[in-house]
């Protein structure tokens, strides 16, 4: 096959940073480029393309140097700027031949992993490890499987934390918005019903907090608060109270919409309310004219 002896053409790829004096150029994607490959660099600041050789590649950074010099010789690339549309490309070319004496040594991993083996890497030549995991697609038809999961702390700034659902197939454990865990599990939502309660208040004077909608949680079943929608014809301050304590606050403002939404959905349900809890939506404004306000409380009821 030709690809065994040739490096194929790489279309132009724009720099994403100005070239550096050290010979480094940075691309959005360096896949296809190889150490020892001849490349052409172009910029509006120069009348001709410049032929160079790839001396080193780390992730999306490529170090360039003269074609006829050693691997450690670099070319100053600071004249190739984003403002001038700098880019790099490669034409189809013969791969450089590795001398016979070096071919055997090139097949070895070196200390501290002295062994002749094939080491899997990604398309940029990076080893697979904890920070660069091997992409895996699970068979969606698998009924039972064991998967090892590393739980990552939320306070690790450079890592995205994991999310795991805990349950017995019917009930699931819920986490409250404040991070605490309920002492009861979330019931199955098979028989869940969505309920809405609407309320309004008219001719509300300025600086007068007014209850727009009130919900008292029934004594039976489990009730989850999922969403509250509120709006008015004046710039307003909306406060959600749970048993007289502030749960959340939103404001509308000049130049923006006169409606707002409180979203309490979490873990596929919402904020678990206790029987007898009193939920209120209070509206207030400071405009000279009276205002009309309305609100809708949406809950999920599980018997």
Q: What's the number of domains the chain is made of?
A: 2
Position 155 in a domain: no
In a shared domain, residues 121 and 200: no
Position 166 in a domain: no
Between the alpha carbon of residue 238 and those of residues 196, 243, 245, the distances in Å are 18, 16, 14
Confidence at residue 50, expressed as pLDDT on a 0 to 100 scale: 96
Q: Of 110, 133, 156, which residue constitutes the final position of a domain?
A: 133
Range of the domain at 51: 1-133
Q: Of 115, 133, 151, which residue constitutes the final position of a domain?
A: 133
Bond from prior residue into 112 cis (ω within 30 degrees of 0): yes
Position 183 in a domain: no
Position 139 in a domain: no
Are 199 and 281 within 8 A, CB to CB?
A: yes
In a shared domain, residues 217 and 296: yes
Confidence at residue 143, expressed as pLDDT on a 0 to 100 scale: 61
In a shared domain, residues 9 and 113: yes
- Model pTM above 0.85: no
Spans of the chain, pLDDT less than 70: 1-3, 110-114, 117, 138-164, 168-171, 177, 182-191, 267-268
Bridge partners of 214, per DSSP, are: 280
In a shared domain, residues 125 and 19: yes
Q: Tell the residue number behind the tokens 């007289």, with chain if given.
A: 244
Position 165 in a domain: no
Position 153 in a domain: no
In a shared domain, residues 119 and 10: yes
| Token representation of residue 156 | 């690790």
Q: Tell the residue number behind the tokens 């949680």, with chain if given.
A: 217
Question: What's the CA gap between 234 and 287, in Å, rounded?
Answer: 7
pLDDT tens profile 53-101: 999 999 999 999 999 998 899 999 999 999 999 999 999 999 888 788 8
- The candidate with the shortest Cα–Cα distance to 243, out of 212, 264, 217, 208, is 217
């Amino acid at each position: 096959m030709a690809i065994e002896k040739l490096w194929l053409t790489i279309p132009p790829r724009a720099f994403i940073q100005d070239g550096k004096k050290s010979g480094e150029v940075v691309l959005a994607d360096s896949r296809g480029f190889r150490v020892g490959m001849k490349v052409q660099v172009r910029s509006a600041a120069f009348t001709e393309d410049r032929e160079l050789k790839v001396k080193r590649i780390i992730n999306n950074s490529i170090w360039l140097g003269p074609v006829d010099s050693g691997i450690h010789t670099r070319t100053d690339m600071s004249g190739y700027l984003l403002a001038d549309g700098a880019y790099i490309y490669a034409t189809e070319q013969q791969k450089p031949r590795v001398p016979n004496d070096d071919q055997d040594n090139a097949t070895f991993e070196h200390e501290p992993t002295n062994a002749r083996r094939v080491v899997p890497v990604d398309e940029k030549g990076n080893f697979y490890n904890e920070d660069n995991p091997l992409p895996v697609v699970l068979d969606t038809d698998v009924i039972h499987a064991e998967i090892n999961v590393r739980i990552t702390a939320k306070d690790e700034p450079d890592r995205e934390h994991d999310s795991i659902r805990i349950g017995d197939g019917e009930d699931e454990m819920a986490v409250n918005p404040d991070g605490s865990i309920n002492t009861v599990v979330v019931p199955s939502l098979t028989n869940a019903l969505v309920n809405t309660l609407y309320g309004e208040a008219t001719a509300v004077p300025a600086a007068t907090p007014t209850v727009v909608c009130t919900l008292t949680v029934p004594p039976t079943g489990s009730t989850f608060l999922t969403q509250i929608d509120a709006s008015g014809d004046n710039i307003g301050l909306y406060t959600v109270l749970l048993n007289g304590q502030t749960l959340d606050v939103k404001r509308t403002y000049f130049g923006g919409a006169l409606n707002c939404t409180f979203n309490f959905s979490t873990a596929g349900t919402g904020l678990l309310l206790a029987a007898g809890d009193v939920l209120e939506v209070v509206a207030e404004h400071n405009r000279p004219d009276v205002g009309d306000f309305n609100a809708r409380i949406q809950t999920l009821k599980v018997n």
